[in-house]
Amino acid sequence: EESNGTLQTTKLVQAQSEQGGLLSLSDVLTRARANDFRLKSLGIQAKAFEAEAKASDFLPDPTLFAAIQSLPTDTFEFDQEPMTQLRVGVRQMFPKGDTLSLREDINQEQVGLQTVKQEAYWIGRKQSIEKAWLEAWFWQQNIELISEDRVFLEQIHEFIQSLYEVGSKDQSDLIGAELELIKLEERLIKARRSFQKNLDSLNTLANETLTSTQLPKKLESFDTSTLTLAKSNDLVSSLQNHPKIRLINQKINIAKSKVNLTEQSLEPSYGVELSYGMRSGDNMDGSSRADFFSAGVSVQYPFFNRGQQSSQISAAKHRQAAIELERSEALEQARFTLKDLANQ
């Protein structure tokens, strides 16, 4: 029965190959990229930061006010006293220094960060898919080789059995042939389980159930420029273009902008106030009372909290330095990893 199952499996493989229903690595990568929720989420976050960048380059809303001033409390009549007036106006505060432009720059850098995050994430995801696909390909080839060996061993077993029946072979020879078939069967079961395990991994990584369960017999070409790069003298500068290093560089740029933004707290902030006072009644000489117009400028200067702001600036600089050390570590690890691969 097992032999019939093997023959059916072989025929199924041949039929799928003839129909062109092979599961190529490029197909799996295309489907996985299209179905990856993490990539979609990072793309949406990039749009969110882009919208925030546009929203951050606006002045705060002005304050409108209206007040009745110097109203006499004996009669509450508006035209009784010359100082009584209805005052309306507007106040506008301006952010400190270059706060607005720096906030816009930070959000724009966050847009770039999400884009690089997509590249860095996809590299790791792509490696996992390639590894699972290659493992599945290896076990598929293993199954085919074992199946071929099985046909050969079955022929040997039948031959020894025929000789044993006529007395030309001992029972030990027949048992030995049967043991070899059993060992081969165990190897075949292990290969099938490993093949199915890696197919299940591909389904998980692709976020869908892949219809085809057969892989091409020939391996696809792989980019070996990384190993060539590992042997070059310009390795460190070339690694700067790697998405994982660019991701850290983008974080450093954001940290620098945050340092500049924190330094703006030491700058004074300004405000402008314009108001108009309307009066009723007449002066003692019979002329109508004139309305009032007022304008003023307010300045908020950090006198009492400079120590706190200096500490905040120092903290922002320390965070930037920590990320720079993270980049140095990542470059060193990448350099040694590539050199080890090149020496293998």
pLDDT in tens, 129-185: 999 999 999 999 999 998 888 888 788 777 777 877 777 777 777 788 788 888 888
Domain-embedded: residue 193: yes
Domain-embedded: residue 271: no
Q: What integer is the mean pLDDT of 7-28?
A: 58
- The enclosing H or E element of 24 equals none
Rounded CA-CA distance 275/259 in Å is 38
Domain-embedded: residue 173: yes
Residue 76: its pLDDT value, please? Answer: 87
Residue 15: its pLDDT value, please? Answer: 39
Domain-embedded: residue 21: yes
Domain-embedded: residue 266: no
Rounded CA-CA distance 188/162 in Å is 26
pLDDT band (50, 70, 90) for residue 93: very high
CA dist list (Å): 320 to 174, 240, 263: 75, 18, 14
Per the structure, the complete domain to which residue 24 belongs is given by: 1-40+132-222
pLDDT band (50, 70, 90) for residue 19: very low
Residue 230: its pLDDT value, please? Answer: 52
Please count the structural domains in the chain.
1
Domain-embedded: residue 300: no
DSSP category for residue 288: B
Per-residue pLDDT tens digits for 105-128: 999 999 999 999 999 999 999 999
Is residue 67's pLDDT more than 50? yes
Contacts of 130 (CB under 8 A, 6+ apart): 25, 29, 222
Rounded CA-CA distance 77/293 in Å is 22
Residue 273: its pLDDT value, please? Answer: 96
Residue 301: its pLDDT value, please? Answer: 86
Domain-embedded: residue 166: yes
CB atoms within 10 A of CB 259: 19
Proportion of the chain above pLDDT 70, given as a percent: 88
Domain-embedded: residue 138: yes
